């Protein structure tokens, strides 16, 4: 090949690099404009003229060989790329307006609308390979705040009830099932451990030990929860778990009643249970076991009702529903590869099931030594979703 032909070939390669850089800079400008203006249309993005910086052109003119051109292109792209911005997470304003489809409940209804989520997108690199862009966070807008109605059965047994649960409606595109799942992120009530409520509606004594000793007639309104071995409070992980489960349920067509939707909610265990009784179709509390003395992940199980309580109302009328829901949840977790403790259940006298008039379970998803990474929480949420599907398909 003659020197002239080699020169022409190098010039062609350099021209290709310049064209690629122009494309990258153009796409970067579009991405930056979209990130700042949010709702700009595609037409606006198409109207952005690609401009190649003079420094890029000048630098390309000095490249002496093909290898340097390729290296320069990669370096320049790295310097000029602008990361895609996350969606603005502007809060929604709740507007007080009485009740809405919740019998006897006080609700604050947001502006009408459905959950919105930016679809995952891709951009092209110079080499023509797709580069994934991280999905933007979900912003829900169809929400209701649900407070405790003092006229509801057992509401007068609650001592902490100035807070509110939040009801999320499934988007129409998910194929709404018309089923409300009560999701209770365990713990997370400031001052709850200093207040006492009756263990049972009839004032009888607790039959098994636990965070409250057997024989006691009163228990902490909301205990503080345990701390994982890495120093993370249980209440933090239960909230993360609840939020992941919420998103999966909404995407599957379930409405979700979040009994605790933030770091703190001023609703004790009785209030949370009574709200669920009157609004939801089932009540699933999320916990990790404490005080078991084990230095390894013990696995998942649900809390079943002790035999001695099965003759006490409202337990007598609902304990079989509790067991059926708990068993399906455990099998859903097992199907996702989660470790299951023993036979999958343990009998303990709990305030929650003692006051429940709907299918209700306390799910223990491990202990202080359990992995609580995002990947594991997602796995657990998927298992719970599968269990919920099975339970309601049988109803």
Average pLDDT over residues 21-29: 45
pLDDT at 162: 98
Average pLDDT over residues 176-205: 98
Residue extents of the structural domains in the chain: 3-80, 95-393
pLDDT at 182: 99
Of residues 204 and 6, the one with the higher pLDDT is: 204
| pLDDT tens digits, 224-234 | 999 999 999 99
Q: Is the pLDDT of residue 216 over 70?
A: yes
CB 332 within 8 A of CB 249: no
C-alpha dihedral sign at 349, 228, 188, 248? negative
Q: Is the pLDDT of residue 44 over 60?
A: no
Q: 3-state class of 302 per DSSP?
A: strand
153: left (phi over 0), alpha (psi -120 to 50) or beta: beta
Residues 236-261 as b/e (b if ≥16 CB within 10 A, e otherwise) read bbbbbbbbbbbbbbbbbbbbbbbbbb
Q: Is the pLDDT of residue 368 over 50?
A: yes
Pick the CATH number of 95-393 from 3.90.340.10, 3.40.630.40, 3.40.640.10, 3.60.110.10: 3.40.630.40
Average pLDDT over residues 357-383: 98
> How far apart are the C-alpha atoms of 113 and 140, rounded to whole Å?
8
pLDDT at 212: 87
First-last CA distance in the chain: 79
Strand order in the sheet with 180-185: 95-96, 106-109, 143-147, 165-168, 255-258, 180-185, 282-287, 360-364, 300-304, 340-347
Of residues 89 and 356, the one with the higher pLDDT is: 356
- Residue 237, phi then psi, degrees to nearest 5: -70, -40
Tokens 């003659």 identify what position?
Answer: 2
pLDDT at 271: 99
On the 0-12 / 13-18 / 19+ scale of CB atoms within 10 A, 230 is exposed
- Please compute Rg for the chain using Cα positions: 28
3-state helix/strand/coil string of 80-124 = HCCCCCCCCCCCCCCEECCCCCCCCCEEEECCCCCCECCCCEEEE
> How far apart are the C-alpha atoms of 229 and 341, rounded to whole Å?
19
> How far apart are the C-alpha atoms of 103 and 80, rounded to whole Å?
57
Tokens 């991280």 identify what position?
Answer: 134
Average pLDDT over residues 371-377: 98
DSSP designation for 262: S
CA angle 164, 270, 103 (to 5 degrees): 55
Tokens 């001052």 identify what position?
Answer: 191
| pLDDT tens digits, 272-311 | 999 999 999 999 999 999 878 899 999 999 999 999 999 9
Q: Is the pLDDT of residue 24 over 60?
A: no
> How far apart are the C-alpha atoms of 134 and 120, rounded to whole Å?
6
| pLDDT tens digits, 124-183 | 333 443 343 344 556 788 899 999 999 999 999 999 999 999 999 999 999 999 999 999
Residue 105 CB coordination number (10 Å): 22
Share of the chain above pLDDT 90, in %: 61
On the 0-12 / 13-18 / 19+ scale of CB atoms within 10 A, 121 is middle
264 confidence band (pLDDT: 50, 70, 90): very high
Average pLDDT over residues 180-201: 98
Q: ω before 222 within 30° of 0 (cis)?
A: no
pLDDT at 62: 36
Of residues 6 and 69, the one with the higher pLDDT is: 6
Identify which of 75, 99, 267 has the alpha carbon closest to the alpha carbon of residue 188: 267
> How far apart are the C-alpha atoms of 280 and 308, rounded to whole Å?
27
pLDDT at 139: 78
pLDDT at 100: 42
């Amino acid at each position: 090949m003659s020197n002239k032909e080699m020169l022409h070939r190098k010039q062609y390669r350099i021209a290709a690099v310049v064209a690629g850089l122009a494309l990258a800079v153009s796409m970067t400008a579009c991405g930056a404009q979209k990130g700042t203006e949010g709702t700009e249309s595609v037409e606006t993005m198409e109207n952005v003229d690609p401009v190649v910086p003079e420094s890029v052109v000048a630098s390309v003119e000095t490249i002496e060989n093909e290898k340097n051109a390729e290296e320069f292109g990669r370096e320049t792209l790295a310097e000029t790329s602008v990361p895609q911005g996350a969606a603005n997470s502007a809060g929604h304003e709740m507007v007080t307006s009485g009740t809405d489809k919740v019998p006897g409940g006080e609700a604050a209804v947001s502006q009408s609308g459905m959950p919105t989520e930016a679809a995952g997108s891709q951009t092209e690199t110079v080499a023509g390979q797709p580069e994934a862009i991280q999905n933007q966070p979900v912003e829900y807008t169809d929400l209701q705040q649900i407070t405790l109605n003092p006229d509801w059965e057992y509401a007068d047994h609650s001592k902490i009830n100035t807070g509110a649960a939040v009801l999320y409606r499934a988007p129409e595109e998910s194929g709404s099932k018309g089923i409300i799942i009560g999701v209770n992120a365990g713990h997370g009530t400031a001052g709850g451990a200093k207040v006492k409520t009756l263990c049972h509606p009839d004032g009888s004594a607790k039959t098994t030990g636990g965070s409250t000793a057997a024989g006691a007639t009163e228990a902490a309104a909301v205990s503080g929860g345990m701390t994982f071995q890495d120093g993370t409070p249980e209440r933090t992980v239960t909230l993360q778990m609840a939020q992941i489960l919420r998103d999966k349920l909404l995407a599957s067509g379930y409405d979700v009643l979040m009994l605790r939707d933030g770091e703190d909610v001023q609703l004790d265990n009785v209030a949370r249970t009574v709200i669920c009784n009157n609004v939801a179709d089932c009540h699933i509390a999320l916990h990790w076991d404490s005080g078991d003395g084990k230095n390894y992940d013990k696995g998942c199980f649900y809390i079943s009702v002790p035999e001695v309580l099965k003759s006490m109302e409202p337990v007598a009328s609902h304990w079989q529903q509790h067991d059926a829901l708990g068993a399906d949840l455990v099998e859903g977790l097992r199907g996702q590869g989660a470790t299951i403790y023993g036979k999958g259940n343990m009998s303990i006298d709990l305030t929650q099931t003692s006051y429940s008039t709907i299918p209700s379970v306390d799910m223990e998803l491990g202990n202080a030594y359990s992995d609580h990474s995002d990947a594991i929480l997602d796995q657990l949420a998927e298992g719970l979703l599968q269990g919920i599907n099975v339970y309601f398909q049988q109803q």
